[in-house]
Chains A and B, each alone.
Chain A
Amino acid sequence: MSARSTLRPRSVQPAWSFEYIMWFFTRVSGLTMYLLALSGVVGAFILGARTQVDLQTLLRWMFFPNRFHVEPYLDDAAFWVTAWWQIMQILIVFFAVSHGFNGLRVVIEDYVGRSFWRPLLRSVVFLLWLAMLVIAVFVILQA
C-alpha cells in the first residue's frame, strides 16, 4: 500500500485557471464525443441503417450525422434530415473543434516557450477555431 500512498501525498485544491479549465474540458469533451458517436450509431439503426447503408456510411454518420454523409448511398435520405440531427451535428462540431484546437494550442506552446511567438500563435489558433466553428455551423444549417 506504500506505493499507493506516495501517489497522492496531499489533497491539492485546483486553481480555476485557464489551463485547468481547458484540461478539464479536454476530458469532458472526449467523453462527450464518445456519447455523441454512440447516439449517432443508435440513431442510424433507428432510422433503418441495418438494411439501408453499408459499414462505411454508418461510420461516417457516427462521426458526423450530416445528410451529405449518407445521401449518396440512400434512396430516400429525407427521413434522416431533422432538426434533431442538426443539433447533434452542431454539438459534435463544437466539442470536436474546441477539443482539437485546444490540443493544437497545447502542442504548439510545448515547443514555443515564452517568446513573442506565443501570444501570436495563440491568436492564430483562436482565429482558426472561430473560423472553423462559423464555417461548420454555416455548412450544417445550409445543408
Chain B
Amino acid sequence: MMLKSKVSIVKGLSYQGGLPMLSWVLHRISGIGIILFVGMHVAASFFVHVVGTDSNIPDLLNVFYESWGFQLFIYFCAIFHALNGLRIIVLDLWPQALQYQREMTWLEWLIFIPIYGMGVFFILRNAFAGG
C-alpha cells in the first residue's frame, strides 16, 4: 500500500512524538551510519588484502573513518542502535511492557549516556594527544 502523505516537512518536524519518536529517528540514522561505516571498512580491507596496496582508496577511507569526528559518530551509532534495538526486542517479546515504554526510553538513555560518555572521553583524549 502506498502512503499518500499530505504532511509537509515543517508539520512533520513539529509532530510532538517526544523521546520515543526521537528513538525511532535516531534508530534509522544510526542504522544507516553503521551500514556506511561497515561498507567503507569492508571495501578498504578488500582493496588492501585482495586488490593490493597500489590503490590509494583504502588510505583515503582509513583517514576518513579514523578521524575523531567520524569515530564519535560511529560510536554513537553502534551503542545507540544496540541499546535501542534491545528495547524494541523487549517491547516486542513482552507487549505488556508497552505500558512502561516511556520509562524504558528514559532507562535506555540512562544506560546510554555513561557508556557513550566513556567512549567520548577516550576518543577525545586520543584526538588531543595527537594519536
Contacts and interface: CB of A to CB of B under 8 A. Distances in A.
B65 to A, nearest CB: 13
Interface stretch (A1-9, A13-21, A39-47, A76-84): A1-9
Q: Is the interface of A mostly helix, strand, loop or mixed?
A: helix
Contact of A132 (B2, B42, B82): B42
A4 B99 contact: yes
Interface residues of A, number: 30
Among B28, B34, B85, B96, chain A packs the most CB atoms within 10 A around the CB of B85
Contact of B122 (A4, A55, A138): A55
Nearest to A107: B28
Contacts of B32: 104, 107
Interface of B: 1-3, 28, 31-32, 34-35, 38-39, 42-43, 45-46, 49-50, 78, 82, 85-86, 88-89, 92-93, 95-96, 98-99, 122
